Amino acid sequence: MSKKLIAGIIIIVVVVGGLIGFSIARRPAAKAKTIDENQKENGYPVSLETLRNGDIDQFVSLTGKISALDKQVITSKVGGKVARVNVREGEPVRAGQVLVELESEDYVNALRSAESNLKQARAQLQTGITDKKNAVISNDVTVKNAKASVKGAEQALELAKKPFKTHEIIQAENAVNSAKQQLEKAKADEARYKALCDKGAVSRSDYESMSLAAVLAQNTYDSAVEAYENLKDQGRQESIVQAEQALEMAKQNLRSAEANAQAVVMKDDTIRVLQTSVDIAKTAVDTAQYNLSNTKIVSKINGVLSTRTVEPGQTIGAGSSLGEVVSDTQLFYLADLSEVDVRNVKQGQLVDVTLDAVPGRVFTGHVAAIYPVADSATRMFPVRVVLENDAKIRSGMFAKGKVETGQHTNVLLVPNGALVRADGDVAVFKAVEDGTKAQKILVEVVSADDLNSEVRVLTGSLKAGDSIVVNGKDSLSDESKIYIDKK
């Protein structure tokens, strides 16, 4: 062969080989199977456990959020600016401890003003009482004296109305008596001389002299009597008028004194008004003292400050919530029981309680109360579980409790690790066909303890001696292939 022919053949072989290699390179490689596909085809590795009959304690579950049996919502009774907050969340507090302090200057000034007003009101009241007392004493004396004056005037009037002799009247009376004696003597002389004249023993002129003397004596006597009567009547009338005037004046003075006494009685109204002013001022002082004392907000109980919602410098109003103190001496939680379970739980029963926040510990509580009426919405009966005091238990933790209500004997027990819960169903996988397939059996848990559950079979069959899957169950479905994992 010529060299050209050989070279052409070589070129053709190279090109064809390249095309074949390119074609092979572009051809997709065979897809590798996934682990799940391999397990579906060849089986899932599992471990089995043989079911048995046995005894199991029957429990009722009691779960709920822990709360303090005694707690205090810290509120402010007055408004103001926060000066200090003395406790932080989680810190212990004691009853009477000051938690929050408000600025108190305004309340101190208000108290001082109220105390000043009270002092002034009390002084005014005391002045009013003293004035009334003095007025009562003065008016009593005045009324007494006025009454005595009236009585004296009345007695003077009575005396004025009775005849009485003055010096002039006595002289006039004496003149009448003397004139009467002279008249009687003159008349006797006249009669004697008349008899003598008739006998002629005396002259007629002597008789007429005696008769004239008798007339003069009569005139003198009449004048004396008239003068006496005039003097007597004139003096008595003037005395009566003067006595009546004095009596009227005394009565006017008495009326004036009694009116003044009545005015003193009316001072009682003024005293009552002043006393009311004192009472109002005292109330204002009490209110100011109360407000000032409430600028220091204290805890009423021993416990722990669980929440704090206020900081220094913040302005708050009366009634504002500042936080909460919970008592750490006794905690409880409320759980709900169905109408079936509630009849099996008794007040006073012990409750074993676990807390997610404190793993590995079992706390002791007891059923303190079972509410007699079910919730209208849930038809569940509230049950209060009180926990024994423990420093690790805090309000707000979630508690899981169980209370023993009896024991079931010789029942089918399923390990808790074999139960599969999904979509509201509970199932186990039973090994069938010589342990090469898993059959899904739906069950209902009747009761359970920490290791096993008593179940009621809903679909299929399950009995003591059957083997069920305890490890590797989560990937299984009904009729899944399985094999025993011997690792």
CATH fold of 44-68+330-484 reads Elongation Factor Tu (Ef-tu); domain 3 (2.40.30)
26 burial level (CB within 10 Å; 0-12, 13-18, 19+): exposed
Q: Is the pLDDT of residue 30 over 50?
A: no
What's the pLDDT at 9? 56
- More confident call, 74 vs 24: 74
What's the pLDDT at 253? 86
User: Can you give the pTM of this predicted structure?
Assistant: 0.48
Summarize the confidence of residues 181-207 as an average pLDDT: 87
What's the pLDDT at 396? 85
What's the pLDDT at 190? 87
Q: What is the edge-to-edge ordering of all strands in the sheet holding 303-308?
A: 71-75, 321-326, 303-308, 92-93
User: Sorting pLDDT into bands at 50, 70 and 90, what band is 241?
Assistant: confident
Q: Is the pLDDT of residue 63 over 60?
A: yes
- Mean per-residue pLDDT over the chain, rounded: 84
Summarize the confidence of residues 459-465 as an average pLDDT: 91
CATH fold of 108-267 reads Helix Hairpins (1.10.287)
Summarize the confidence of residues 464-468 as an average pLDDT: 93
Domain positions in the chain are 44-68+330-484, 71-103+295-325, 108-267
What's the pLDDT at 232? 66
Residue pLDDT, tens place only, 348-374: 999 999 999 999 999 999 999 999 999
Q: Is the pLDDT of residue 113 over 80?
A: yes
CATH fold of 71-103+295-325 reads OB fold (Dihydrolipoamide Acetyltransferase, E2P) (2.40.50)
Q: Is the pLDDT of residue 50 over 90?
A: yes
Summarize the confidence of residues 438-450 as an average pLDDT: 88
Do 71-103+295-325 and 108-267 come out as alike in CATH topology? no
User: Sorting pLDDT into bands at 50, 70 and 90, what band is 20?
Assistant: low
User: Sorting pLDDT into bands at 50, 70 and 90, what band is 435?
Assistant: confident
What's the pLDDT at 281? 94
